[in-house]
Amino acid sequence: MNLEHVLEGAPFIEPITPEEFDVEKIRIDFPALHQKIYDKPLVYLDNAATTQKPLSVINVIQTYYVCSNANVHRGIHFLSERATRTYEYARSKVQRFLNAQESFEIIFVRGTTEAINLVAQSYGRTFLKAGDEIIISAIEHHSNIVPWQLVAEQTGARIRVIPVTDSGELILEEYENLLSEKTKIVAVGHVSNALGTVNPIKQIIRMAHDFGAVTLVDGAQSMPHMKVDVQDLDCDFYAFSGHKIYGPTGIGILYGKQALLDRMPPYQGGGEMIREVSFDRTTYADLPHKFEAGTPHIAGSVALGAAIDYITHLGLGNIAAYEHELLHKATEKVRSIPGLRLIGTAKEKSAILSFVMEGVHPHDIGTILDREGIAVRVGHHCAQPAMKRFGLPATARASFSFYNTEHEIDRLTAGLRKVKEVLAL
């Protein structure tokens, strides 16, 4: 067994053709999908919360711990050098995936939440002052709200919010009115986790830059579904989580432009992020290490690389086309159910259906569907302001992946009719 090949993957991966995209073959790669829940085949529609993992990712995690486990950047023995090499190779893989200019612009973090906190506490706390403004949108995940509230309290900055239409689209005229010389940071999600809205992020970034503001994009819900090119977007920061793109939990990425990262102080102190330490003062390591204090999630980083290989092989163009078709069919079918109302009907949507049923609490929908073997998410989806905007405490959410099928949409539709039957609606 060539360990380097298992851990690092092939150097060049060509995507399959649309004709080769076969969902039944793809499903074989995901062992978690082939189980029964309450004696019924699992239908997993909670992909916006986390995705299932292909065997290639699971195998890399096992191989790393069986054959290559060692700490990185600090040992001179064989295992440590191999672990360092595969860890840094994974970083360069993320760089190519995002089309970042340099691999040191890729910071390994625990997930999107930590990435945004890093920027808020390092860049925001250093450069914001009283009277400055941070712009976010009305449909952000809490992880792109609370870190900015914390830094606003610390610095005296003010948070402004882009409103949305009844269909869940950002009102760009209102965004333009919010922008001014006071605007220092614009932090917006690429795709709404609660509604599925795909925001016109390139236009939002360009408008922010016209006023000299720094931009951060929460890419947690976009990365599994579309090609992201950070140079083409011209974003200053881009954050995403590994577990949303078929990698392990506990690993994520912050991309940042070198010129900004160089100016930012470390977010955390500890081992490996230093150049020299004395009791008088400490000097810090170069990028990316000054932002990676302590022993990192090495296995997670390597497995994230394997996940990127997997979706690169499937082809993000193939994935987007298949999921778009799946979303269209699901939308048409659930709309036929009397009393069901979709929340979030933007023209540009990712593979998310958020809905409510007249006279039914979303938790009852989730509970009855679960007994049918169907996993969906119910609640506020860590987006309470978005729920408030639509006058709701919660919705039910079905979120799709490239491994879902039209038959599973039929199972969802039948399950929703069962909800009405059980509750005698």
Mark 150-172 as b/e (b = at least 16 C-beta within 10 Å): ebbeebebeebbbebeeebbbee
Tokens representing 153? 């309290």
Sign of CA dihedral 348, 352, 356, 361: negative
SS3 category, 375:
strand
Closest CA to 244 of 128, 143, 392: 143
Q: Are 303 and 65 in contact (CB under 8 A)?
A: no
Token digits of residue 359: 């006279």
CA pair distance 177, 162, nearest whole angstrom: 9
- Which are the contacts of 110, defined by CB distance < 8 A and separation ≥ 6? 250, 251, 252, 297
- Name residue 160's amino acid: R
The length of the chain in residues reads 425
Name the token pair of 339: 């009393």
Which one is catalytic: 150, 171, 382, 423? 382
Q: Which residues contact 65 (CB under 8 A, 6 or more apart)?
A: 299
- In whole angstroms, what is the distance from residue 46 CA to residue 398 CA? 6
Token duo for residue 374 = 């169907």
Is 67 an active-site residue?
Answer: no
Q: Give the C-alpha separation, 287 to 102, whole Å.
A: 10
Q: Return the active site residues.
A: 382
